[in-house]
Chain A
Amino acid sequence: MTLDTQGIGHHISRQFNRELLDLHAHVLEMGNLVSAQVRDAVRALIEADTDLAAAVIARDPDVNAMELHIDQECNLVLVRRQPAAGDLRLVFAVIKAVIDLERVGDLAKRVATTALETRGQERMASQIGHLGASVQAILGRSLDAFSRLDVDTALKVRAEDKAIDAECKAVSRQILTYMLEDARTISAGLSLVWAARSLERMGDHAKNIAEYVFYAVLGKDLRHMAAAEREAWIASRASSTP
């Protein structure tokens, strides 16, 4: 199911259409800003670009302001329209997704701060490059699923998050070897382990956003579902979808 079949723009009230479409568009706008923050934070870390790191930190209030603005829009839609069914689930998904995006913004700021703390350790920092690219990819895919309300893309995000968790552990082990080799790298190494952990958390938030897509489109809440039950449900859906 996609954005068109969800029928956001098919209400009798054109104003309601516009409010929902604006809400959806503003989440994507916030998603683009957060994605840029993640991209720049990772680049600043790997390339030891302190100016870029400072720019990421300086832009974080913009992300926070967008969260407040979208929250206010959601409040107005709830009080004016009292949405039901798919519309209600979409507004609920937006409220939840915005919280996750704001946290991704905070984590990007943390990675940028690490870039300032690890200058001179570019070789060790480069270990994070692939993990950073994977996180940008999963976040992009998650936002793509949200933009099209596409459950099939959302399903792929769930699978990718597991790979990111494994990659984070591998990167942490690699950084540990540097620290074991040279005790002078311990301080920067610990910062980098925290940065890797921040990137892994970003993957979790991307997975959350994908789960909200599921809820918005199908009314099925996959969060906190036992793994066996969740997999069985996904398998049954796959077999029933033409």
Chain B
Amino acid sequence: MVDQTDHSFSVDVASRGDIDSVQGLKAEARNLSFFYGAVQALKSVNMPVYDSRVTALIGPSGCGKSTFLRCFNRMHDLTDHTRYDGEILFHPDNVNILRKSVDPIEVRMRIGMVFQKPNPFPKSIFENVAYGLRVRGEKNRSELADRVETALRDASLWEEVSGRLDSMAFNLSGGQQQRLCIARALATGPELLLFDEPTSALDPNATANIEDLIHRLREKVTILIVTHNMQQAARVSDYTAFMYLGELIEFSDTNTVFTNPNSKQTEDYITGRYG
């Protein structure tokens, strides 16, 4: 369990075979609280997000995991009567991305998001991926083409769409649309990608593709994923955070959480003993 007073987050990650040294931080929530009007949805959450690793957020509906995720790219700014308290420090700049003076558009360029249901724009495949780059002011056609191809390759979609980049994104299957949304998020070169239940609307094959993709992407980008699927959290993540009623109950390496969790609340939830 994370010590609520300790901000050093010196979690020993050497216990996992595939992690051989203490990993640096990409971001960290410090005493993060969040309010929808008078309702407090997050209660002083302290949590590290390790660089080039996948961290899963699990917990029952209403526990605050999606609220927590959305804080990272300032999604709540779009909703009235909401309030942040505390900090999310983004590294290596060590900047608090919740500060009013920090431009949320710039935050979203560096921290991308993929939603539960694929949400391609009513544009061509190419234009969907190029969208963020155009917003940034990129006009050079060959540069755009290169960046779009790289993003589609990174999202494991290039082979399937390279011959029809001008066709409408809606013509793709659900799984392909979701990978297109991942390519769109990757195109601007984000440092952190947020996934909000990215496979809940997909069939098992498309889900396996996305999970494979997440596993490969961790080499390039840090990932924070909300999932209701316990097995998915166990499969794709290096670290798992269990949240309940707006509080972070346990944060540990995923192997520990799913075989021998420290907290009884975590154990009750992942073994299906929660009401």
Contacts and interface: CB of A to CB of B under 8 A. Distances in A.
Interface of A: 7, 10-13, 16, 81-89, 219
B230 A86 contact: no
A82 B230 contact: yes
A82 B231 contact: yes
12 contacts: A7-B273, A11-B273, A12-B273, A12-B275, A13-B272, A82-B231, A84-B230, A84-B234, A84-B270, A85-B258, A85-B261, A89-B259
Interface string B208-237: 000000000000000000000011001000
Nearest to A81: B272
A13 B271 CA distance: 10
Contacts of A10: 273
A13 B275 CA distance: 10
Nearest to A11: B272
Contacts of A88: 258-259
Contacts of B234: 84
Given A83-B271, A86-B271, 12 more contacts: A12-B274, A16-B272, A82-B231, A84-B230, A84-B259, A85-B258, A85-B260, A85-B266, A85-B270, A85-B271, A88-B258, A219-B260
Contacts of B275: 12
B189 to A, nearest CB: 36
A87 B273 CA distance: 11
Given A219-B259, A219-B260, A85 B267 contact: yes
Contacts of B267: 85-86
A4 to B, nearest CB: 14
Interface string B227-265: 000110010000000000000000000000011110000
Contacts of B270: 84-85
B260 to A, nearest CB: 3
Contacts of A81: 272
A19 B264 CA distance: 22
A198 B271 CA distance: 40
Most B CB contacts (10 A, CB to CB) among A11, A81, A86 go to: A86
A87 B231 CA distance: 14
A10 B274 CA distance: 9
Most A CB contacts (10 A, CB to CB) among B267, B271, B272, B274 go to: B271
A85 B263 CA distance: 11
Most A CB contacts (10 A, CB to CB) among B266, B273, B275 go to: B273
Nearest to B260: A219
Given A84-B234, A86-B267, A12 B260 contact: no
A71 B223 CA distance: 38
